[in-house]
Chains A and B, each alone.
Chain A
Amino acid sequence: MPRPVRRSGLTMPINNPRFVDRSWTRDCDYLNFDLEDSVPQSQKDYARSQVRHAIVQGQKGAAEINIRINCAYPDADVPAAVWPGVKQINFPKAETGAQIRHLDALITELERVRGIRSGTVRIGATVETTLGVANSYEIASASPRIDAFGGGTGYDMSMDMGIEMFVGFDQFVYNRGEGELIALALGLEREGGVYMSDTTGNVGNAELSIKRAEASRKAGLRTGGGLHPNVVAPQNLGLTPTVNEVEDAHRVLSFFAELDQRGETEGDMDGRIVDKYEAARAEELIEWASLCAHRDAEKSAAREQTVAELDEQN
């Protein structure tokens, strides 16, 4: 399977048609329709009934469809969430491998019954508690459906640790390090971003989003996501390699090929060292840029088609 492009994604309450019906216009790589924290208890049944409608809405913009379920009652949520078109079930506040194995079994059965290719629905396990941090490796390795992993941060993590958020320094150094190391150990995509000081907690801060996304891209990270439409464009842009970076990567590869032909392992290119590691980075960057371009074209074509269909209807 090609590496998924998940630079931007909005989490939104699935019971709110104002958000869901406009979701396809947001240019998100993925949409995370929520059955969990943003849905009040009294609306949970209604929310579950809205999954198939949300899939249709999200697909109008070619976004990858994710459904976030409640960790406390997967048996009620998963049958409502796994339908053709859903690419990932997000499991928040993951704390044990057993939870993930149970979720995997539920999905496996639904794939069979609903005619979805076996093993194609992924699991996104999110660590948001200290117990989850302690059991991170067990969680991340509990199912082959997990293809990305990161350390526990965010509102719920803060609440569990009993600390304030947005204090101006990284309170989650250990969690992030542990999560990313586990991802590297298991060969998973690393989730999370480069820490940047934020004392406001403004989820719609486009300026901070672009800075963070660019820093994350340069540090080698590839995924994003958020809560406010303002951060989608900055994340798409910031996590996509620039034209100059792609050109430079091609030069690195040519230079390294010449070195290799001469039986050398490293050389100086304009004052910087090029070796097999720089060549591997260049190769990854070129491949990533191409995947991003392909994703952008897919989304753009889908939105154009949807607009044309709507015009026709009107």
Chain B
Amino acid sequence: MRGSVRRSWLIVPAHDNDRLAEAASSSADVVVLDLQDTVHDSRKHEARDNIRDAISDMRDAGSEVFVRVDIELIYADLVASVWRGLTGIVLPGVTNVEQVMDADSILTDLESQRGVVKPPPVGDVREADDPRGPEQALEIHLSLDTGRGNWDAQQLIKASNRVKSISLGRADLVMDLRGEPSGDLHQMEYLMQRLIVIANALNVEPVGAWWRATSRGLVAGYDDTLQAAIDGRMAGFRGGLCMRARQVKPLNTGYTPSADEVSHAEEVITREPTYSPMSGIASDLIAWSEECQNRNRSKSIVTAQRNQ
């Protein structure tokens, strides 16, 4: 399936003003304001207090904004998060359908009470408060980081129409899947492929990158992140999560087809008949490349407006 261009999802601790400032200049397609793992219990209030302004700052910086909530503190986290400019929430640690339905129901109430709808794509001139249609419901991204969550992925996705994307989140850490001598993380190839198959079967976006044991994924350096993004795109992911601003550029680069790939695709299209699968794949790649360029342009327009 094709949705928004979301090549890089940068997770930022919502209590940390330096990291928030860094995120605002990172060029991330998506900034995920975190209220979960990276925020100590003693600082949750501080983090929640920051959310409303941070949503606005990140939108002004050309990023879509999600909030990662703590499933055990979901009500308080959502009350702090559902404000104009928010695109959706990331739900980690989900293990049953009721949790997804509960999140959906709280979002519905808050949308109604606060008149909040999902904003239009970054750079789009459409007013955010147009009459509400199903496409304007805030999204849910399921971070399937537990064994139970992965096994029941299909039921969890079907539990709410708001679920538009899924990832393994930090499954290697949550499920304690460690490195093998081959350099791969134990069982991660299987889990990544399984996630991609299920996402495509149910028409939601698979988010992730082909991380290896040697790189410690979400905090990896430039080269490892670039490779994970390139491999991830080849495997069927549409964008990856990261936890360091320095990873945004390699994710955006790796998830954007290179000039060589685009020119090769153009050659294929001229050579192959239109009904050939190769032609279809090439045409998808060109379309994706154009969407990526459009996304970059809209980001530039928004940031230029901000700087005026």
| CB of B202 closer than 8 Å to a CB of A | no
Please tell me if the beta carbons of A273 and B216 are within 8 angstroms of each other in the complex: yes
Bound-complex Cα distance A272 to B216 (A): 9
Segment among B67-75, B171-179, B299-307 that sits at the interface with chain A: B171-179
Contact of B181 among A215, A272, A284 (CB under 8 A): A215
Contact B38 A265 (CB under 8 A): yes
**Is the Cβ of B150 less than 8 Å from the Cβ of A177?**
no
- Residues of B within 8 Å of A186, CB to CB, are 147
Residues from chain A with Cβ under 8 Å of B173 in the complex: 275, 277
Nearest chain B CB to A219's CB is how many angstroms away?
A: 4
Cβ B180 vs Cβ A275 within 8 A: no
Most buried by B among A182, A272, A276, A277: A277
> Does B308 touch A at the CB level, under 8 Å?
no
B180's partner among A174, A178, A194, A280 (CB-CB below 8 A) is A194
Residue in chain B with minimal CB distance to A272: B216
The yes or no answer to A103 lying at the interface (CB within 8 A) is: no
Complex Cα–Cα for A221 and B148 (A): 18
A219 touches B186 (CB 8 A): yes
Stretch among B39-47, B109-117, B229-237, B269-277 lining the A interface: B39-47
User: Do the beta carbons of A220 and B174 come within 8 Å of each other?
Assistant: no
User: What chain B residues lie within 8 Å of A196 (beta carbons)?
Assistant: 181
- Name which residue of chain A comes closest to B43, CB basis: A263
- Taking A176-B187, A177-B191, A276-B37 as contacts, is the C-beta distance between A185 and B147 under 8 angstroms? yes
Cβ contact of A181, chosen from B42, B176, B180, B187, cutoff 8 A: B187
Partner of B219, one of A137, A273, A280: A273
Given known contacts A219-B177, A281-B176, A173 and B37 CB-to-CB distance under 8 angstroms? no
Report A147 CB to chain B, min CB distance, Å: 15
Query: What residues of A have a CB within 8 angstroms of the CB of B39 in the complex?
Result: 265
User: Among the listed A220, A260, A272, A277, which residue makes an inter-chain contact with B170, where contact means beta carbons less than 8 Å apart?
Assistant: A277
Interface size (A, Cβ < 8 Å)? 35
Are the C-beta atoms of A183 and B147 separated by less than 8 Å? yes
Is B57 among interface residues, defined by CB-CB distance under 8 A?
Answer: no
CB pair B174–A277 under 8 Å, yes or no, is: yes
* Chain A hits for B175, CB < 8 A: 184
A186 CA / B146 CA spacing, docked (Å): 11
Q: What is the minimal beta-carbon distance from B19 to any residue of chain A, in angstroms?
A: 12
Chain A residues 270 to 292 lying within 8 A of chain B, measured CB to CB, are 272-273, 275-277, 280-281, 284
Known: A177-B194, A273-B219, A276-B37. A184 touches B170 (CB 8 A): no
Task: Please indicate the chain B residues that have their CB under 8 angstroms from the CB of A174 in the complex.
Answer: 190
Partner of A280 from B43, B176, B187, B191 at Cβ < 8 Å: B176
A266 contact set on B, CB distance < 8 A? 38
Which residues from chain B contact A173 at a C-beta distance below 8 Å?
A: 189-190
Q: Mark B128-146, 1 if CB is under 8 A from A, else 0.
A: 0000000000000000001
Interface, chain B (partner A; CB < 8 A): 13, 37-40, 42-43, 146-148, 150-152, 170, 173-181, 186-187, 189-191, 194, 216, 219
23 contacts between A and B (CB under 8 A): A177-B187, A177-B189, A177-B190, A177-B191, A181-B147, A181-B187, A183-B147, A184-B150, A184-B175, A185-B151, A215-B180, A218-B180, A219-B177, A219-B179, A220-B186, A221-B186, A260-B40, A263-B42, A272-B216, A275-B173, A277-B176, A280-B176, A281-B176
- Chain A to chain B: the 3 pairs with minimum beta-carbon distance, closest first: A184-B147, A177-B190, A277-B173
Interface residues of A (CB under 8 A from B): 137, 173-174, 176-178, 180-187, 194, 196, 211, 215, 218-221, 260, 263-266, 272-273, 275-277, 280-281, 284
Given contacts A177-B187, A183-B147, A265-B40, 11 further A-B contacts (CB under 8 A): A137-B151, A177-B189, A178-B190, A181-B151, A184-B148, A184-B150, A185-B146, A219-B177, A219-B180, A221-B186, A277-B174
